[in-house]
Amino acid sequence: MASITYDHVTKRFGEVVAVNDLNLFVEDKEFLVLVGPSGCGKSTALRLLAGLEEATEGIIKIGDRVVNDVPPKDRDIAMVFQSYALYPHMNVRQNLAFGLETRRVPKAQIEETIKRVANMLQISELLDRRPAQLSGGQRQRVAMGRALARDPAIFLFDEPLSNLDAKLRVEMRTEIKLLHQRIKTTIVYVTHDQIEAMTLADRIAIMKDGFIHQFDIPQQVYDNPANLFVAGFIGSPSMNFIPCRIVQTEGRQGVIWETGNGRSFFLPVERQGLVLDHWLGREVILGIRPEQIASGFHEQEGNPQMHEIESVVKVLEPTGPDTLVFVDINGREVTCRVNPNAIKQPGEPMKLMVDMSKALLFDPQTEERIGK
């Protein structure tokens, strides 16, 4: 069984606390993604598990075994790096075989393993080529093949797709997901790319400054981010954050969005279970994702959760299926994702409908989501 436990794990490099009191339990066969901005400590967390760094405090377990003092080679893990780390003077077959030969695996078994892995990753035609004769994607496949050949209890991936171009990255992402479905081995995958995290993970751990800010399934992280950092980090383009005040008018609770020029919008907040009584009169930050703001020109009429506001279009960014529209709402820039048929040109006014059913509120002091 290859579950993973980080129990109050801290790693210090002198004054720097790279990983701060990390507590995580990864289930056997789970695909965990550690995601966060540069320097957040995600690679250090992975290297601690691999045995390439030693924990300053805390316990790390693989299954039921404490591995703090177990050398890397005895941890039954295989790691795939961003840099591939293939041997340039060996061909693909030799690269795949190398780790097995050093462990004195019988020749026939090595042959068998190479065949199986090469088939799985569709690199059978490349076995006689050297790394220099391969494309980036093919090299990445060989690096994965080398890890697979070892048949480890846990795979560790450290930004494995960062060196690939955008199209190949998406293809390899799907391959890694398929691979996990097939081999059903525990995976810990480090990336700074939130789309990679959302698409690959069974569960995501979002890190910043050595701390885990949220650990949950992707949809939950997206719909119910724990705080402003997670809300802003997950989702592209980012969630809109608008300073507002909580009020009650005619029996409805909601936010007043003051937009300068003495104008204001009242937007009711009626999320189930969200009680705002003790927030009345106080400042909050309203969080709305771009896709929750539609052009007012179609659908949505009569939906009690949709509320109209006026804007002026600043910039259009067509993506194909929809267009990102950066609008000005009395001095505040807001991003919305709009049907291409419903857009206006820069400089023109545009009516927008805000869907308040998924709106979030954050405490400006603690930055935590209100009503967690």
Min separation Cβ 43 and ligand ATP, Å: 3
Q: Which of residues 38-57 bind ligand ATP (CB under 6 A)?
A: 38-44
CB of 180 or CB of 192, closer to ligand ATP: 192
Minimum separation from the CB atom of position 12 to ligand ATP (A): 9
Q: Could you tell me which residues are beta bridge partners of residue 246? A: 255
Residues numbered 247-306 forming contacts with ligand ATP, rule: CB under 6 A: none
Q: How far is CA 182 from the centre of its chain?
A: 22
Among residues 103, 85, 80, which one has the least CA distance to residue 95? 85
Q: How far is the CB of 54 from ligand ATP (least distance, A)?
A: 11
Find the binder of ligand ATP among 93, 180, 192, 337 (CB under 6 A).
192
Smallest gap, in angstroms, from Cβ of residue 13 to ligand ATP? 3
Q: Which of 13, 128, 280, 349 binds ligand ATP (CB under 6 A)?
A: 13
Q: How far is the CB of 48 from ligand ATP (least distance, A)?
A: 9
Cα distance between residue 70 and residue 302, in whole Å: 64
Provide the H-helix boundaries in 150-252.
166-183, 194-200, 218-223, 228-233
Coil, helix or strand for 247? Answer: strand
User: Is 16 one of the binding residues for ligand ATP (CB under 6 A)?
Assistant: yes
Using alpha carbons only, give the angle 93, 95, 97 rounded to the nearest 5 degrees: 70
Which residue's CB is nearer to ligand ATP, number 210 or number 296?
Answer: 210
| Best CA proximity match to 266, nearest among 197, 191, 356, 192 | 356
- Minimum CB distance to ligand ATP, residue 366 (Å): 24
Q: How many chain residues bind ligand ATP (CB under 6 A)?
A: 12
CA–CA gap between residue 121 and residue 138 (Å, rounded): 9
Strands lying side by side in the sheet with 349-355: 293-295, 349-355, 306-318, 323-329, 332-338
Residue where the block lists tokens 């076995």? 127
Contact 215, 203 (CB under 8 A): yes
Contact between 22 and 10 (Cβ < 8 Å): yes
Stretch binding ligand ATP (CB under 6 A), from 37-45, 57-65, 73-81, 280-288: 37-45
Give min distance, CB of 209 to ligand ATP, in A.
9
Other beta carbons less than 10 A from residue 165's beta carbon = 11
Task: Determine contact, residues 353/300, Cβ cutoff 8 Å.
Answer: yes
**DSSP-based three-state secondary structure for 282:** coil
Distance between CA atoms of 116 and 137, rounded to whole angstroms? 19
CA-based nearest residue to 295, from 238, 345, 239, 232: 345
Specify the stretch interacting with ligand ATP by CB under 6 A; choose among 35-43, 275-283, 331-339, 349-357.
35-43
At its nearest, how many Å lie between ligand ATP and the CB of residue 265?
39
Q: Which CB atom, from 93 or from 169, has the smaller least distance to ligand ATP?
A: 169
Count CB atoms within 10 A of the CB of residue 25.
13
The Cβ of residue 29 has, within 10 Å, a number of other Cβ atoms equal to 15
Q: Applying CB under 6 A, which part among 31-39, 104-112, 305-313, 363-371 lies near ligand ATP? A: 31-39
Closest to ligand ATP by CB, 110 or 221 = 221
Smallest distance, ligand ATP to C-beta of residue 27, A? 23
The binder of ligand ATP chosen from 2, 9, 18, 329 (CB under 6 A):
18
Task: Candidates 33-41, 216-224, 249-257, 267-275: pick the segment binding ligand ATP (CB under 6 A).
Answer: 33-41
Closest CB to ligand ATP: residue number: 43
Q: How many H-runs (helices) and E-runs (strands) does the chain carry? A: 8, 20
Give 18 or 327: the residue with its C-beta nearer to ligand ATP. 18
To the nearest whole angstrom, how small is the minimum distance from the Cβ of residue 8 to ligand ATP?
A: 18
Binding interface with ligand ATP (CB under 6 A): 13, 16, 18, 36, 38-44, 192
